[in-house]
Structure 1
């Protein structure tokens, strides 16, 4: 199964996201597309981030404007994904007809779990190094960025991880620490460089900071406004996202 097919199956379980892509193609704007599908602007940005990250290449090309503004259009891969989804819809109808009873569908639902992790970064396994009962699994993200996860050896076997196989790194936004681009950090940490493309303030808690990574993926971190001010970080500034290998969860595509 190709990566695009796997992604189309993933979003077939979340049809509002396909509707969002279709609206972006028609409207040329994330904000207008969000209104068209009854989604908040923040949720639409999150959906676009997740889809771009899982695809490994941009499906939506954005130009950032003012608050709630900016233009957007689907890339060639995004347009291909829309066409593929429509083909999968037909196959899904055949599957529903073939299912013997509701128990079959409930079983499929349990096997297709969603995750609460804000960040889902697709990559390729480049190394697996034993460390006691654990393994250090190194992924290569788009753009050549390395990311290391520490998981148990049993998990490595259960996920059937192997060199050059695809995998998805799951990371909660609250686990990420943001630093200035020139910061010197411990070698054992994952340090992903990027540029801040958006800061969404929340009067009741930390701000949501979106960091555009070199390979086209987006990382979301929750950062207190006081820390952003102390670091002198704002939209357009380079920054480092740091987190421990133990904080990375891994998954494999179906």
Structure 2
């Protein structure tokens, strides 16, 4: 099954997100689209981040602070997703009519994955290298960036991983360490470089830092305001996000 088909199923299970895409196409504004879809501005940005991260190509092209609080438009991939969603809705209606009873639908519902990890990126296995009792999984992200995940050999077998296997990469926001790209990196950590898109201050905790990667995916990190100020990291700054291979969680389609 193609990535686009999987994404169409994902948004079908979360109707607000397909409504958001429809409104972005109609409104050309994140603020107006979020309001029309019944979402907060922040929830709309979060949804766009997740959809862009899971796609091989970004579904939404956006600009911060544009007319109406942020301009946005669907990419050709986003337009194809909407068309595919319409076809899947018709198929879904037929399947629901054929379902034996509500218990069958409950079982299907339990099989749908939800995760608390803030960062969910699509990727593909490049190579698998033995490392003691573990495996070091080399992963390629869309656009050519790469990272590594350290998992047990049993996990490799359970996920049926091999070169070329598509997967979901999960990284918690609190596991990302931010620094300026001109500072020496930690060679023992994964490193992804991008540009700070937004810094959202929280009244009772660390700031939420959105990082735009060159491939169109977005990372979300947490950092203290003093830490950011001390490194001169502001919106528009280049930034490096580092994290341990052992902090990368992997998931595959059942």
Normalized against structure 2, the TM-score is what?
Answer: 0.97
Gaps in structure 2 of 5+ consecutive residues: none
Deviation at 1:12, TM superposition (A): 1.3
CA contact (8 A) 1:195 1:211 kept: yes
What is the CA–CA distance in structure 2 between the aligned matches of 1:242 and 1:67, rounded to whole Å?
34
Post-superposition CA distance 1:216-239 (Å, at most 9, x none): 100000111000000001111101
Where in structure 2 are the equivalents of 1:199-218 lying within 5 Å? 199-218=199-218
Helix, strand or coil at the partner of 2:100: coil
> Does residue 141 in structure 1 map to residue 141 in structure 2?
yes
Give distance in 2, aligned partners of 1:68 and 1:192. 31
Distance 1:117 1:97 in 2: 34
Give 1:127-166 correspondences, 5 Å limit: 127-166=127-166
2:183 equivalent in structure 1: 183
Equivalent residue of 2:196, what SS? strand
Distance in 2, Cα, partners of 1:240 & 1:56: 22
1:110 is displaced (CA, Å) by 0.9
Gaps of 5+ in 1: none
What are the Cα deviations for residues 78-137 of structure 1, in whole angstroms up to 9, with x where unaligned?
000001011111111111111111111111111112111110011111011111221111
| CA drift at 1:159 | 1.0
Contact kept in structure 1, 2:29 and 2:67, CA below 8 Å = no
**Segments ≥4 residues shifted beyond 3 Å:** none
Residue 67 of structure 1: CA displacement? 10
Residue in 1 aligned with 2:38? 38
Match of 1:224 in 2: 224
Aligned partner of 1:236 in structure 2 is 236
Say what the alpha-carbon RMSD is for the aligned residues.
1.3
Instruction: Please state whether the residue corresponding to 1:163 is helix, strand or coil.
Output: coil
Native 8 Å contact 1:56 1:216 kept in 2: no
Cα distance in 2 for partners of 1:56, 1:210 equals 19
Q: TM-score, normalized by length of structure 1?
A: 0.97
Paired residue total? 254
What's the secondary structure of 1:151's corresponding residue? Answer: strand
Alignment partner of 1:167: what SS?
A: strand
